[in-house]
Structure 1
Amino acid sequence: MKKFISTVQDIWKIEELRSKILLTLSLMVVYRLAAQVPLPGIDPTQLTGLANNTSDGLLGLLNAFTGGAFAKASVMALGIMPYISASIVVQLMGIAVPYLQKLQKEGESGRKKINQITRWLTIAILIIQAPTYLISLPSLGIPESAFLLGTGPLFYFSSILLLTTGTVFAMWLGEKITDKGIGNGISLLIMIGIIARFPASFMQEATSRINQSNGGLIMILIEIVIWFVVIFASVLLVTAVRKIQVQYARRTVAGNIQDVAGARQYIPLKLNSSGVMPIIFAQALMFVPGLMASSENSVIKSIGVAFTDIFGLWYNILFAVLIIIFSYFYTAITIPTNKMADDLKRGGGFVPGIRPGKETADYLDTILSRVTLPGSLFLALLAILPAIITKAGVQPGWAIFYGGTSLLIMVGVAIDTLQQINAHLLNRHYDGLMKSGSKRKVAY
């Protein structure tokens, strides 16, 4: 504990790091305050029906990602999700569109152009999503009396403008956090929205266990222990790597080429190279079968209803299969084994026992395929774990935190942020957050 307190004090001593953390926290507070502002013309006291209809299911999941803003008819009701959707579309288009492929190879200037394309695509998505959200509000439980100014053209125009502005503002906050603060801003905004629902979900579960004599404090304690075990497993999934040994016959040291026989390094291939993206892709597709629930055909409607229950059997079977498929797909498009093999060859490195060039690329691709299988299976298990937990009597709102996108985003963002803080500490010759020991001494 003393080591931790000492590390926190070291963080506070570094003015640059302190400023970055304070700026990040301030912008996240601004985002959360904006999420509490309802759309003009809607009575916030008559949103009980909307809150009840978005407490579970697919809408409940969307509401969790926006930190409850979706159920409050807030100016931030759509949150940062349209930007995430635009980012996914741009990434997928990068496979087939030569212009985007060219931008990806142009370094920083190309990245800026891709970001600009993503922003404009976000606005295009908002032009569709914002009216859809507003039109669906009455069917989601908001009575006519809640629309104080009616639902005329003025209401729709102003609300669409505000919803679009809210998402653009959230996007700007995220980019500012990334540029001037600490951590990935967009991911932090999603995480803070998820965490915002954590206390209410836990209290609901605790109240249910105690008031209904459903296990009491013992069951609450057991659930907390299981939750920490799942978090530990998620950390292992995020950080686990398969090291491919690389040997260099020649290495460049201080500008001079020296023969360093036997010098070895490793290529780390992550067990889960695709991160949380397969779950996000799969979840986006899972909204499609749910649309069939509004069909007039009884057979199609029954199928649609089965896929609207995020804790149902058929939903989770299809969800798990899609996650495994997308894990391989996303890994294939983001891990260029051919480029890795070429870079290795140019640098004078080789995998022992494997010829440089194509054979090395094939070898890396084979290893990557093998490690992706257990990684994708584990990821699928974590994604459907909330559905398994609910069978034990856990409240749906609390079960969401036992796996799926919510938990993996929180774990991934926390690790990424800690690594950035750790890097700042080590650069200033302090102990990192992830290691123990005394302050590092520098020899002059």
Structure 2
Amino acid sequence: MLDTLKNLFAVADLRNRVLFTLGMLAVYRVGNFIPTPGVNSEALRIMSEQAQNSMFGLYDMFTGGSLSRVTIFALGVMPYISSSIILQLLTVVWPYLERLSKEGELGRRKITQYTRYLTLLLAGVQSLGIAIFLERQTEIAGGLPLVYETGWSFRLMAMLTLTTGTMFIMWLGEQITERGIGNGMSLIIFAGIVVNFPRAVIATIDQMQTGQIGLLTLAFLVVLMVGVIGAIIYVERGHRRITVQYAKRVVGRRQYGGSSTHIPLKVNTGGVIPVIFASSILTFPQTLSGMFTPGGYADAAVRQIGYGMPLYNLLYVVGIIFFAYFYTAIIFNPDDVSENMRKYGGFIPGIRPGKRTAEYIDTILARITIVGAVYLAMVAILPEFLLTGFKVAPIPFIGESLDAILPRVVTQGLNVQFFFGGTSLLIVVGVAMDTVNQVESQLIMRHYDGFMKKTRIRGRRG
């Protein structure tokens, strides 16, 4: 490991990329502590300790605690992610965007520009929702006003501040992707989750001292966490190999081809992106809840998809599976792979080149994608059920009856708070592995040993 770190900093370009990434993440962390003007920090502290509103759950985890502190980075990267999802979905159904996506670098730049515009719009709408929400929360905050002066002066200030913060985070992420190491947006979310780890350890120790968590329960949770991490690493490394044979060709006096290789299809081609996409879609309405009339139909609908609710869990699983297929279709095109194989004389034994090859690859990809999608959904949901149970009471008509019949271990789980749930583990481990793989590739390309020179995990053979 020490030799690898020396190699990492021995290459000037790689060293600069790593330092640039760390510097941008440090700037992001500084912004997480700059408060939004006009917000009563003392009242906000009280509300953060008392409120159990869904806005201060999963979304707050993605922003590194910025939402509960209402800092200038309170919206995080979620407006950008939501915009990316919308544009990618529109690319499938809108011929104009579909043409742009096929025009190479120029088309991608145009789509990126549209994504930025939509991010600006969504950030403005979400920041208005948060501003109105804060104005209404005096009772939760112990009678103290969360906002010093309510009205459109505060709302416009909050919209300007939070929207500017989001656009700046978007710029940071793009700079990391272009000039640093790893995917900038994913690393920003990763940083937001990881920085809360020390505070979570302290909170867990406090729960042990007060008797909320027993020693055996804590040991079980730690073993479970390690097991989930091991499962994530195992599946993320797994892939199905499709054998490709190259026919012999004679060019001049030289003979080419005749070799055999393989196409590695990852079990989880989309990585953690489906989880981030599904989370982003479901947390988006929560930031708009302040704009709805309390007790109205819209407010009730938003509460039904609040974090931990049965409908939320159902939509979360469906969203993960959908985006696993959708994102895989975006980043891996069997037709292109088949065409490239045909161009260079490659073929899959027993499969006719061309359309049949593309169909064969697509069939295998669909089969392993369902395995990857179910794995993502299980890791994201099951640990949460174990910790807090499956809340059946809010289910219309039959919820209260089910709650009375089912044992407490089903409806309440272990009834403890533990920092690392399934979603956070997926994102942290997945992003860390992707980043390490990129560093590894850079080192190997420059003829240096990487991090995993003695511990490579081989994928499963198909």
Q: TM-score range by the shorter chain?
A: 0.7 to 0.9
Stretch of structure 1 that moved more, 367-376 or 198-207: 198-207
Task: Note the alpha carbon deviations across 1:329-380, whole angstroms, 9 max, x for none.
Answer: 4334443222222222222111100001121122112111211222121111
Give the counterpart of 1:351 among 343, 348, 351.
348
Contact 1:63 1:70 (8 Å CA) reproduced:
yes
Q: Give the one of 392, 396, 403 matched to 2:422.
A: 403
User: What is aligned with 1:156?
Assistant: 155
| Kept in 2: contact 1:250–1:257 (CA 8 A) | no
How far apart, CA to CA, are the structure 2 residues paired with 1:304 and 1:252?
A: 66
Offset of residue 287 of structure 1: 5.2
**Cα drift, residue 206 of structure 1:** 3.0
Aligned match for 2:223, one of 222, 225, 232: 225
* Match 2:31 to one of 20, 30, 34: 34
Question: Could you list the runs of 5+ residues in structure 2 that have no partner in the other structure?
Answer: 390-412, 456-462
Which residue of 1 is the match for residue 125 of structure 2? 128
Q: Give the Cα separation in 2 of the matches to 1:424 and 1:284.
A: 31
Would the alpha carbon gap of residues 295 and 386 (structure 1) be closer, same or farther in structure 2, given more than 3 Å must change? farther
Instruction: Tell me if 1:72 matches 2:91.
Output: no
User: Which amino acid in the other structure matches residue 234 of structure 2?
Assistant: L
Question: Does the Cα contact within 8 Å between 1:205 and 1:395 map onto a contact in 2?
Answer: no
**Paired residue type of 2:385:** I
CA deviation after TM superposition for structure 1 residue 53, in Å: 6.0
Letter in 1 for 2:266: K
Report SS of the residue matched to 1:244: strand
The 1:62/1:104 distance shift into structure 2, 3 A limit, reads same
The one-letter amino acid paired with 1:132 is G
Counterpart for residue 94 of structure 1: 91
| Residue 16 (structure 1) shift | 2.4
Answer whether contact 1:341 1:357 (CA < 8 A) is retained. Answer: yes
> 1:393 is matched with which residue?
414
Give the aligned length: 424
Aligned equivalent of 1:271, options 254, 267, 272: 267
- Name which of structure 1's ranges 289-298 and 39-48 shifts more when overlaid on structure 2: 289-298
State the partner residue of 1:442: none
Q: CA deviation at 1:86?
A: 0.8
- Secondary structure of residue in 2 paired with 1:168: helix
Cα offset, 1:190, TM superposition: 0.9
Matches of 1:124 and 1:314, distance apart in 2: 28
Q: CA RMSD in A?
A: 2.9
Shift of 1:256: 8.7
Amino acid at match of 1:163: L
Q: Determine the C-alpha separation between the residues in 1 that align with 2:185 and 2:367.
A: 31
Cross-structure match for 2:445? 427
Q: Cα distance 1:241–1:107, how it changes in 2: closer, same or farther (>3 A)?
A: same
Instruction: Report the more deviating stretch, 263-272 or 100-109.
Output: 100-109
How far did 1:429 drift?
2.3
> Do 1:55 and 1:397's aligned partners in 2 also have CA atoms closer than 8 Å?
no
Cα distance in structure 1, aligned partners of 2:121 and 2:329: 28
Q: Following TM superposition, by how much is the alpha carbon of 1:327 offset from its aligned partner in structure 2, in angstroms?
A: 2.6
Separation in 2, partners of 1:227, 1:309? 21
| Alignment-derived partner of residue 417 in structure 1 | 435
Answer yes or no: is the 8 Å Cα contact 1:243–1:269 preserved in 2: yes
Distance 2:184 2:365 in 1: 29
> Distance between the aligned counterparts of 1:252 and 1:73, measured in 2?
68
Does the 8 Å CA contact 2:58/2:283 hold for their aligned counterparts?
no
What is the SS of the residue equivalent to 1:45? helix
CA distance in 1, matches of 2:48, 2:314: 28
State which of 246, 249, 253 in structure 2 corresponds to 1:248. Answer: 246
* Structure 1, 238-247 or 62-71: larger mean CA deviation: 238-247
Q: Which runs of 5+ in 1 are unaligned?
A: 438-444
Q: Of the candidates 235, 255, 258, which is equivalent to residue 255 of structure 2?
A: 258
Query: 1: CA distance between counterparts of 2:293 and 2:335?
Result: 45
Q: Answer yes or no: is the 8 Å Cα contact 2:83–2:118 preserved in 1.
A: yes
* Counterparts of 2:118 and 2:296, CA distance in 1: 33
Cα distance in 2 for residues equivalent to 1:372 and 1:85: 23
Cα displacement string for residues 209-231 of structure 1 (whole angstroms, at most 9, x for unaligned residues)? 34307422x44333222212111
Q: Partner letter of residue 172 of structure 1?
A: W
2:145 counterpart residue number? 145
> TM-score, normalised on structure 1?
0.86
Secondary structure of the equivalent of 2:58? helix
Task: State the distance in 2 between where 1:60 and 1:256 align.
Answer: 68
Do the aligned partners of 2:61 and 2:192 also contact (CA within 8 Å) in 1? yes
CA contact (8 A) 2:57 2:307 kept: no
Q: CA–CA distance in 2 between the matches of 1:158 and 1:388?
A: 40
Alpha carbons of structure 1 residues 88 and 205: separation in structure 2 relative to 1, 3 Å: same
1:354 & 1:102 partners in 2: Cα distance? 31
**Which residue, out of 10, 20, 23, partners 2:20?**
23
Partner of 2:174: 175
The 8 Å contact of residues 95 and 333 in structure 1, kept in 2 or not, is answered as: no
Tell me the distance in 2 between the aligned counterparts of 1:381 and 1:225. 17
Q: Which whole-Å CA distance do the structure 2 matches of 1:210 and 1:346 have between them?
A: 67
Shift in alpha-carbon separation, 1:327–1:436, aligned structure 2, 3 A: closer
1:397 to 1:45, Cα distance in 2 relative to 1, 3 A: farther
Q: Distance in 2 between the 1:165 and 1:77 partners?
A: 11
Answer whether contact 1:35 1:76 (CA < 8 A) is retained: yes
2:189 paired residue number: 190
Give the match's secondary structure for 1:145: coil
Q: Is this contact kept in 2: 1:38–1:73, CA < 8 A?
A: yes
Deviation at residue 37 of structure 1 after TM alignment? 0.7
List per-residue Cα deviations over 1:253-285 (Å, max 9, x = no partner). 9x9973432x11111222122223333443355
Residue of structure 1 in register with 2:201 after alignment:
202
> Letter of the aligned partner of 1:266 in structure 2?
H
